Structure 1
């Protein structure tokens, strides 16, 4: 099969959503200028640089009560900061609850009964028992082609690692089973890990 996205795919569901997989999930916590916390998952998310450490996520839809975007991007525009919480398999149900189209001012930490704690470097809550949380200072927000598409970039200025995920001085992903996004309604979990040594190392 071949298709041009501009012409449509002719399938019941968009296959592009399932092609680039698995994708890590950035569970983005923000705080609005009104002091209300927000928490939402984004699977267009990744680390993009080592020095200084930087991450990005993309928001691709809008809500009527936020104009051209959703709560996360709107809050980051106002405050300039956000926190990325890493999602483990055990948090799949509460993570999914925070993905709903909840109204501005609806605190997802409270809605999904997720324990929170204050960040160290920024005025924002983070998921208290996440395997890791990355406190970020927004560096830029890029408007992408299409309606309501934004990419948010941030420099990581604080890192929280859960103690049980540290083994022999290394952050061990086998200790928490990272949750990943596939396509459609599908997710996967990382339970098998192997190592490769690059040529020349």
Structure 2
């Protein structure tokens, strides 16, 4: 026996809750962009993943503050077409969570959370120094489907905390990297430090 939900009908208003609770764990994109005054905005999004390597393509979905009003991240990318995606581990998870709080446009979550910034190499948007991984991205395109907005980004540079990846072989130190994952809506997360290897046939 199973329970069925009709996302095009009876349960349409619960689609976000159902999908975001069941399609897990999801990686977290902690995104920095530049506000119009040059300050740095930071906000987390869990509708995010990598979708290719030729070219290196990432996609995330910044929604709206309210119907027809894009979130600050989407507004900044529309204007500037650049952003940095960071992954999140235990060392920065509280700052990431705090940066999800709603603030008036132009307020810098980086400043509020006393984070430090490092200049990027290929884009104007700086990266969060404390994050384990930072992907410098330029916007390829933005697709809007109903109330959904998908930002497609081409990754220009990847910055990885020392000790996480071999600089020569690009092999990951799996025991040193433990990103936080998003679980059931609204407030659940998971750690990724209980790993196992499964050899592909």
TM-score (norm 2): 0.89
Asked if 1:151 corresponds to 2:150, the answer is yes
Structure 2: 5+ residue runs without aligned partners? none
| Cα 1:8–1:38 shift into 2, 3 Å | same
| Matching residue of 1:192 | 194
| Matching residue of 1:20 | 23
Asked if 1:4 corresponds to 2:3, the answer is no
Task: State the shift of 1:174 in Å.
Answer: 2.7
Task: State the shift of 1:89 in Å.
Answer: 1.8
Structure 1: 5+ residue runs without aligned partners? none
C-alpha offsets along residues 21-72 of structure 1, whole Å, 9 cap, x if unaligned?
00000001111232121000000000000111110100223259xx521011
| Matching residue of 1:115 | 116
Task: State the shift of 1:9 in Å.
Answer: 7.4
Q: Is the 8 A contact 1:89 1:176 kept in 2?
A: no
Distance in 1, matches of 2:105 and 2:173, equals: 36
| Matching residue of 2:134 | 133
Residue in structure 1 matching 2:64, options 48, 58, 61: 61
Distance in 2, matches of 1:193 and 1:143, equals: 36
Aligned length: 194
CA RMSD of aligned residues (A): 2.1
Q: Is the 8 A contact 2:36 2:106 kept in 1?
A: no
Distance in 1, matches of 2:131 and 2:48, equals: 17
Name which of structure 1's ranges 159-168 and 41-50 shifts more when overlaid on structure 2.
Answer: 159-168
| Cα 1:10–1:143 shift into 2, 3 Å | closer
SS at match of 1:100: coil
Task: State the shift of 1:144 in Å.
Answer: 1.8
Task: State the shift of 1:107 in Å.
Answer: 0.4
SS at match of 2:121: coil
SS at match of 1:40: strand
Q: Is the 8 A contact 1:39 1:107 kept in 2?
A: yes
